Copies of this chain bind each other. A is one copy, B any other.
Amino acid sequence: MNPCAVPTEIKDTDADNRWMSIHNRFLSECREKDPDVIFIGDCIFETLQHTETWNLYFAPLHCLNFSIYQDQTQHVLWRLQNGELDNVKPKIVVLLVGTNNVHNTAEEVAEGILEIVKTIRDKLADSYIVLPTLLPRGHQPNICRDRNNSVNHLIAEKCAGMKRVQTVCIDKGLIQTDGTISHHDMFDYLNLTTASTKKVFEPLFDLLSQILHENEPEKDLTPSE
């Protein structure tokens, strides 16, 4: 049994029930709002939401962001199988999760991601599913970077040809020529600084804009009489 692909609740070991409170809030947002795009993920997207880039670029596309700091693939899977895509009909779901699966193999993580893709497809037959690449991490080269890189290759391979599923490369330009990542780009060598957020997420923004634009209802150009 691959732990990355088994829906798993995060245990409330802190005894303040925060994870479940956040999940419940996402369920309310599903009932109350009508998003065109839903972001689902972990700390990378959670951090994105508190930036000017989110406010200026993504929020105007009618995005909701269902991301929780420490989540791994199995936790996102649990959330989606427990209501976070019910009562909504987004045109696009953007999924970025897996960097926190630090104790699994690339194959297990990729399988976990594909299981989430399958869950999204089961719930939303017509939506586009967009998969940005996992980002590198750590100040120096390390096995987490290697794993994330392998996951990206596996996902690109497995998703090639899937209908309305697109990967988008956002992981270039962060590793410097000496192999290090600067704290000017990732303040904790995992999450993006405000300054680097715009640059890193630009290809994602462009892809979302393009999909939304291409799928706008055609304007009827026939004169009305």
Contacts and interface: CB of A to CB of B under 8 A. Distances in A.
Give the size category of A's interface with B. Answer: 20 to 34
Interface of A: 13-18, 21-22, 25, 46-47, 49-51, 68-69, 102-103, 137-140, 142-145, 183, 187-190, 193-194
A102 B17 CA distance: 12
A190 B46 CA distance: 13
Identical chains in the assembly: 2
8 contacts: A15-B102, A16-B138, A16-B142, A16-B189, A17-B138, A50-B50, A50-B51, A68-B188
Contact of A15 (B18, B22, B142, B187): B142
Contacts of A143: 15-16
For the complex of A and B, the 10 pairs showing the least CB-CB separation, nearest first, are: A16-B138, A21-B139, A16-B142, A16-B144, A14-B102, A18-B189, A15-B143, A16-B137, A21-B189, A25-B183
Contacts of A13: 102-103
A50 B194 CA distance: 7
Nearest to A100: B14
A18 B187 contact: no
A50 B68 CA distance: 18
